Structure 1
């Protein structure tokens, strides 16, 4: 098997297959037709380059069996509604046959969770051509279809007085009551989600990982590079198909509504310590979307506006595009009003500027929840009506109710 993978790399065939896979993935935007406007298309091709960067970082630079690493996702990569208050540190494995130890210090971070996962993929994908299979090939080889198999949160971790900790990662529970994250034989990696309530004023954590048997590093082989190219290419294809499927086959069927679907969330590397609702939004220039909800008691919540490719809007670096628990403006009853509009809305609440977008994805994430997710009420209204009549104009609009839970 490894001889075949090496031959494909040395002949250039593995490279050609990677390039063809990426080329075909790029043309998946054609499925959207006129639904994707000029701004959407511009962001699609940038999205493509970010996916390519993500695949290369993960599988070219971060998948050496003897030298595990925890590396942050590439800058500005925000796959699947990634929260701007979270960092994603990834370690990639070939399989779950080894034991590891994660050491670190939490700094002033209020919360983190570490998950192990598996994905459908052959042991040696570099032995085969994948481009010609297209989306059908994802059934047996999809690095984007991540399924969480185990997780441990900072609430379950033992810290010393300075915030230091140590977690054993492996298939067998360690002795002496040491903190443990379980992995399965088909484990292909770990993900650490760090969660900041106030990033600018929080001392960051530190994490490191090593194999318990401490093997000597060695040069990469041609067969391993062939496998890495195959994984990097299928990662691009897998995420392109994921955003197409989520938009065209699911979310766009329910515009301006949010649904809390645990099966959908957990099917893509989610962890069961939270409610995460997804939906789509539509709001033309000259309109406003007014969204009201009473947050379920929780440690943290965030409402995000994203593009149709599930990416944070470009204004998120300036604090735009989202509202979160510790910075939100609350109404007298503890509820939250979010107003999406291209111009100043004329009523009080948490104004989100959609930064030139007229549609996209939205999400409401509640972490460390107590109880069910909240009812979400949405009104689509002319911006001029809000300017003329204020909140009284909302009484003239029939609300859309959502926030239902689908198991």
Structure 2
């Protein structure tokens, strides 16, 4: 199944390139115009969407109604995200920061504690980000060489990265960042000619109490792009949107099958592989898979090191985080209750155990999960074990004698290197 999907992606890429080569006497706009007029560009886009269905039907994926329903909804979400990002937001001369991953578009064991924004950019151009920071602990700005339309999403290396703790920050949290190939300005974010995307990850400590940043990005070079929709831009946008749906679903279906091999364990994910896929290089990831049997609970225990934050997130089979709008499906440094010795005990079970740090699986019996240490001074191994629900009474007795407590946390504007 994987080979068939990859073969179709490559076929459409080659057909597009071959078509342009056959039209050497035509401009790129004229060549694309022929494909738009004939309907070929649309057919190619629809072929990619159809091929993406193989990621749901293949890879030994579960055949129950809930998993399959979520799988095809997942493809519809990726389609929406792809069109929004590459067709509506594909003008690199007028970039707009959009939420590619959010409450109803998810992928790759996404992190509910990150407020993701991104935009398509051209690595040959210069850009400026301006705005005011909110009250979240910090932001990470990164430029990436590639996106999910490249190499089935497996190759998106970071060209440059800048976080607010490295930045000069002005009065009331005002910031300005220059994006360019050569160092420029007080806050510089490196790009390369191969750069295709700007990603902003804004960390929540306590989502219910914090205010996100207000940011805009603009191209500094004079734009030669037409205000009229050009065929070449539409064809490229449709192709890249289709590649996102087919590529991301393929890669993460493969990941899910792999993670199922370590069910109810938390092995550390290979850092180089994570970095290549666009992950945060200062984050240690423990991607895996969970499964709950009737009458059982999963207990995850760890002693957090000094770190910016940490969390544990539950996902479904397709590695979409469960719906964090309606119940607690993840816990982090600032929302967790700590035992007197500084450790945390997290419970995963269908029924409310009347204990702190309960994660609700929302009717799922299995799915992906991810534990993260963010900017930590060490990486202790989280321990996970399965117990009978009846044994939770021991934890309740323990809790009554020595209650777990939250740490104090007050949201504020990040200070960076300087705060005016």
Fold shared per TM-score above 0.5: yes
Unaligned segments of structure 1, at least 5 residues = 122-137, 393-407
**Equivalent in 353, 363, 379 of residue 345 of structure 1:** 353
Q: Which residue is equivalent to 1:78?
A: 106
Q: What's the offset of the Cα at 1:120?
A: 7.4
Q: Which residue is equivalent to 1:35?
A: 62
Answer whether contact 2:152 2:250 (CA < 8 A) is retained: no
1:383 aligns with 2:389: yes
**Equivalent in 52, 74, 80 of residue 53 of structure 1:** 80
Distance 1:149 1:172 in 2: 12
TM-score (norm. length: structure 1):
0.85
Q: Which has the higher strand share?
A: 1
Q: What's the offset of the Cα at 1:297?
A: 1.2
Q: Which residue is equivalent to 2:160?
A: 150
Distance 1:34 1:309 in 2: 9
**1:210-255 superposed Cα distances (whole Å, 9 cap, x missing partner):** 111243662221011111111000100111111111022x211111
Distance 2:88 2:377 in 1: 40
Q: Which residue is equivalent to 1:131?
A: none
Answer whether contact 1:119 1:144 (CA < 8 A) is retained: no
Q: Which residue is equivalent to 1:397?
A: none
Distance 1:13 1:277 in 2: 43
Distance 2:166 2:336 in 1: 29
Of the structure 1 ranges 319-328 and 188-197, higher mean CA displacement relative to structure 2 is found in 319-328
Which runs of at least 4 in structure 1 moved beyond 6 Å after TM superposition? Answer: none
Q: Which residue is equivalent to 1:161?
A: 171
Q: What's the offset of the Cα at 1:302?
A: 1.2
Would you say how many aligned residue pairs link Structure 1 and Structure 2?
A: 368
1:270-281 aligned within 5 A = 270-281=279-290
**Equivalent in 104, 117, 121 of residue 131 of structure 2:** 104
TM-score (norm. length: structure 2):
0.82
Q: What's the offset of the Cα at 1:382?
A: 2.4
Distance 1:169 1:259 in 2: 36
Distance 2:195 2:181 in 1: 10
Q: Which residue is equivalent to 1:361?
A: 368
What's the secondary structure of 1:4's corresponding residue?
A: helix
RMSD: 2.2
What's the secondary structure of 1:226's corresponding residue?
A: helix
1:302 aligns with 2:302: no
**1:308-358 superposed Cα distances (whole Å, 9 cap, x missing partner):** 1111113x1024111111111111211111111111337x44111211111
Answer whether contact 2:127 2:219 (CA < 8 A) is retained: yes
Answer whether contact 2:130 2:174 (CA < 8 A) is retained: yes
Distance 2:136 2:214 in 1: 10
Q: What's the offset of the Cα at 1:360?
A: 0.7
